[in-house]
Amino acid sequence: MHGRALDLAGQLCGEPEPPLVWSLALAALTRGEWERGREFGERLRARAERDGDQVLWVESDYIRGIAAYWPGRLEEARGHFEAALQRFQPARRRAHVLRFGQDPELIVRPRLAHTLWLLGHDGEADYQRDLALNAASDSTHPYSRAVASVWTAILAMERGRTGEFRRHVQALEPYTGGDAPAQILWAAEAFAGHLDVIEGRTAAGLARAREMRERVVRGQSAAPGVPGVATRLLLEGYAIAAESEAGLTLASEALGMGRGAELWEAEIRRLRATFLAALGAPADEVAAELKRALAVAQRHGAQAFEERIRATLAERCPGHGGAL
């Protein structure tokens, strides 16, 4: 349908309206086509510049930020997310919701918080997270409020803050009615499964996480990066449950799946190394995988993951400290 609309606009010698281009960008990003999504974002930026449209400027930076974030270009993503928030005008919040169906402050700030944490800026990540939660508490837009809870939950999960994770998951409950967007329903169920694992209901939790991942990977994802998030959650569940064989199989699959898993490649490789070690692989093989993980973390600028990798190396392969 999107392609047909774009073709029709071309045949009529007209320029497609920004909401259509924005929708095309999200569709491309949902398929994991990062460069295609970025190109649509550039089209939006050019239109914003031409028309002096501040709302469109914000949305174009959001799109370009997402296109950089998922493949791990973290500094680039940070720049776009910060630019979107700098241009955002609260007085035009309603215009964003009417034209593009979301409140950009609640969509961008928690993603910026996660990006900053990955880059090693814990204090700045906390600041952006708190601003997002404060804005969400004042918002009347349910979808955007739910998205803010999703991303603050992901950040808490990454940091291993169980109580904080639980609070954000519970905050999603009012938004999971029958007419809720698919990505919110998916997140609520996947997070509930992860809580099950954390709280000792391991078999049930892993079953829920596997089912949700299967649904979003094999079916049609509802939003960019959803298969990557589902994979990250299930891998963490396997690590917590010491399910090394299942974890190794999933980690190996995740390295070639794309669709948002690229953001976590360094962590996927680190976990793969721990699964290998638990299954009795030689120390050289484990160290080699950690070396690959470190190279990815450094390429992405993901200092948070780099610190974990070095700690895992010291624990699992103490004789290989000089190898990295």
Neighbours of 146 (CB within 10 A): 24
Using CA atoms, how far residue 66 sits from 16, 29, 54, 115, in Å, is: 22, 8, 19, 11
In angstroms, the CA 248 to CA 123 distance is: 33
Q: Rounded mean pLDDT of 69-98?
A: 98
Closest CA to 37 of 11, 73, 86: 73
Evaluate if residue 166 carries a pLDDT over 70: yes
Tokens read off for 199: 């709280």
Neighbours of 294 (CB within 10 A): 22
Q: 199 φ, ψ to 5°?
A: -90, 10
- Of 1 and 67, the one with more pLDDT: 67
In angstroms, the CA 117 to CA 299 distance is: 16
Least confidently predicted of 107-111, 265-269, 311-315: 311-315
Residues 20/2, Cβ–Cβ less than 8 Å: yes
In angstroms, the CA 170 to CA 150 distance is: 10
**Which residues have a Cβ under 8 Å from the Cβ of 74 and sit 6 or more positions away?**
68, 115, 118, 119, 300, 301, 302
Q: Rounded mean pLDDT of 14-21?
A: 92
Tell me which residue has tokens 């609260």: 90
In angstroms, the CA 116 to CA 286 distance is: 29
In angstroms, the CA 62 to CA 116 distance is: 16
**pLDDT tens readout for residues 284-312:** 999 999 999 999 999 999 999 999 999 99
Using CA atoms, how far residue 280 sits from 70, 163, 229, 285, 318, in Å, is: 33, 34, 28, 10, 16
Per-residue pLDDT, 41: 98
Per-residue pLDDT, 3: 52
Per-residue pLDDT, 6: 52
Using pLDDT thresholds of 50, 70 and 90, give the confidence band for residue 178: confident
Give the amino acid at 311.
A
CA-atom Rg of the chain in angstroms: 20
Concatenating the DSSP letter of every residue in 150-179 gives HHHHHHHHHHT-HHHHHHHHHHTGGG-STT
Using pLDDT thresholds of 50, 70 and 90, give the confidence band for residue 321: low
pTM of the prediction?
A: 0.94
In angstroms, the CA 29 to CA 70 distance is: 9
Q: 233 φ, ψ to 5°?
A: -65, -45
Using pLDDT thresholds of 50, 70 and 90, give the confidence band for residue 320: low
Using CA atoms, how far residue 321 sits from 170, 173, 227, 274, 276, in Å, is: 42, 46, 34, 16, 18
Question: What is the percent of the chain where pLDDT is above 90?
Answer: 90
State how far Cα 95 lies from the chain centre. Answer: 25
**pLDDT tens readout for residues 191-236:** 999 999 999 999 999 999 999 999 999 886 779 999 999 999 999 9
Using pLDDT thresholds of 50, 70 and 90, give the confidence band for residue 75: very high
Least confidently predicted of 46-60, 105-119, 305-319: 305-319
Evaluate if residue 10 carries a pLDDT over 70: no
